[in-house]
Amino acid sequence: MSQRNLLQPSIRALFLLLLCSLVVGEIGKDFSHCPNFFYNKTPPQGVSAPGYQPICQRYRNQYHFASLYDRQRRVPLFSAYRLSPADGKRPKSVWMYEPQLAFSGASPDMKHFETPVDQNVIESQAVLDDYRNSSFTKGHLNPSLHQKTLDNRKATFTLTNIVPQKEGSNSGPWNKLENDVLRDFKTFCNGTMYVITGAMPYKSGDHWINNRVSVPEYMWSAYCCPSFKSDLPNNVKQFFPTCAAVGRNDPNSGEEIVPVNKNAKPSVRGYDVRRMPLENLEGILAKRLAMPISLFDNRCQA
């Protein structure tokens, strides 16, 4: 056998290795491909479970944010991003999925849903049919209004950034919180604001839509703004450098975490949001998820 023929298998093996290395990057064991979405390039500490899948959310060959996806519940536990006010309108809702959850060697870019949806995609993650006639909206963890460019905003329309959220929460108090955080950033934050927003499952056992996608009992969010104005008003100082919030996603849940404003109008009653110190949220998450959690490195102290 010639030397040329001996080399051909090695060359083919090297080519396949290089090809695989090109598509690895969105789905992995950690967030090493997209650390910049976390303060000090450090993801939340203490969050670990066999079914949790880190995703570097990639669209049009660029990373836009990061999510920790719960494969068993088919929802993200959280999405992490750097807030940057939108420079345009909310894009048309053209929904996408994560190919590498279904096929490990697939393209690292999120893709638009096709008809029919591949069975491997259906088994690996939530799909649009899960939300149809469910009485739940598609609730963004990373909202498009917190993303600057059109591509940034389009990238938020992946179901790996979505949880089942009641309309009363999504368009009511939770929407107000998203706008309040945006206002805080514009008014008081001097540099980057890092945001982590997530979903909290029921303590009493999972609730499901379509027997496939877990419904959260609460939404939660926290931000880290390490550099802020030195002359903060007294009523704002408690919100810097960190602030957190928990929002109700079930009007019938107890009031031990978030009280209900009985005077709220009926369409939003029971979907209250409570702002709180970061430490309080971490304590709530530690109890609900049964794991010690630290969301921001060194508690966002510069």
Is the full-model pTM beyond 0.75?
Answer: yes
> Can you list the positions of beta strands (E) in 83-145?
96-97, 111-112, 137-140
Tell me if 74 is assigned to some domain: yes
Tell me if 15 is assigned to some domain: no
Tell me if 112 is assigned to some domain: yes
> For each of the chain's 302 residues, which pLDDT tens digit applies?
544 444 454 444 444 433 333 334 478 899 999 999 999 999 999 998 889 999 999 999 999 999 999 999 999 999 999 999 999 999 999 999 999 999 989 999 999 999 999 999 999 999 999 999 999 999 999 999 999 999 999 999 999 999 999 999 999 999 999 999 999 999 999 999 999 999 999 998 899 999 999 999 999 999 999 999 999 999 999 999 999 999 999 999 999 999 999 999 999 999 999 999 999 999 999 999 999 999 999 999 97
Domain region containing 147 = 35-300
Tell me if 14 is assigned to some domain: no
Pairwise CA distance, residues 65 & 57, whole Å? 5
Pairwise CA distance, residues 67 & 43, whole Å? 10
73-82 pLDDT, tens digit per residue, is: 999 999 999 9
Per the structure, the count of domains in the chain is 1
Decide: 117 and 111 in contact? Cβ < 8 Å.
no
Tell me if 248 is assigned to some domain: yes
44-64 pLDDT, tens digit per residue, is: 999 988 899 999 999 999 999
Tell me if 26 is assigned to some domain: no
Tell me if 229 is assigned to some domain: yes
Residue 69, φ and ψ in degrees, nearest 5? -100, 130
Tell me if 165 is assigned to some domain: yes
CATH value at residue 230: 3.40.570.10
What pLDDT shows up at residue 26? 79
- Give the list of residues 6+ apart from residue 227 with CB closer than 8 angstroms, or none: 189, 190, 191, 192, 302
The sign of the torsion formed by the CA atoms of 129, 137, 244, 282 equals: negative
Decide: 145 and 178 in contact? Cβ < 8 Å.
yes
